[in-house]
């Protein structure tokens, strides 16, 4: 089975712009979670989608949003980018959710200048 794929792998944006990141989960997995990884804050949970419904949301501002499509692919969007949004954004897929095995993609490295 192919693993979790994320596109693009690298992205450079300017403050104030918006960005959309994409994640394709492992075939058959219905749960997709997003995490932000930074040197200062570590790995932090953004949100989780299961069968197109957001089940959980972390403590991030409303500028961070996401959605999941009927084929389980997911996108996350960050509007009005700030310098502090520079991070590695990781997507993880799971058959049943975060309380079970989650498999991560390689991440999208976002740099905001």
Partner 1 sequence: QQQVKQSPQSLIVQKGGISIINCAYENTAFDYFPWYQQFPGKGPALLIAIRPDVSEKKEGRFTISFNKSAKQFSLHIMDSQPGDSATYFCAASMKFGNEKLTFGTGTRLTIIP
Positions touching partner 1 (CB under 8 A) are 4, 33, 35, 42-45, 48, 55-56, 58, 90, 92, 97-107
Q: In angstroms, give the least distance from the CB of 29 to partner 1.
A: 13
Q: 65 vs 27, 74, 101, CA distance in Å? A: 23, 11, 24
**Alpha-carbon 29 to chain mean position:** 15
Q: Do the strands 87-94 and 31-38 form a parallel or antiparallel pair, or are they unpaired?
A: antiparallel
Nearer to partner 1, 19 or 92 (CB): 92
Nearer to partner 1, 108 or 112 (CB): 108
Q: In angstroms, give the least distance from the CB of 72 to partner 1.
A: 16
Q: In angstroms, give the least distance from the CB of 15 to partner 1.
A: 25
């Amino acid at each position: 089975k192919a693993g979790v794929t994320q596109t693009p792998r690298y992205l450079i944006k300017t403050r104030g712009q918006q960005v959309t990141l994409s994640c394709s989960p492992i075939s058959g997995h219905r749960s997709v979670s997003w995490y932000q990884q930074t040197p200062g804050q570590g790995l932090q949970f953004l949100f989780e989608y299961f069968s197109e419904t957001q089940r959980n949301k972390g403590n991030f501002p409303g500028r961070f949003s996401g959605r999941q499509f009927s084929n389980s692919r997911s996108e996350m969007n960050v509007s009005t980018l700030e310098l502090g949004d520079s991070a590695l954004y990781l997507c993880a897929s799971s058959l049943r959710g975060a309380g079970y095995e989650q498999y991560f993609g390689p991440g999208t490295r976002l740099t905001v200048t």
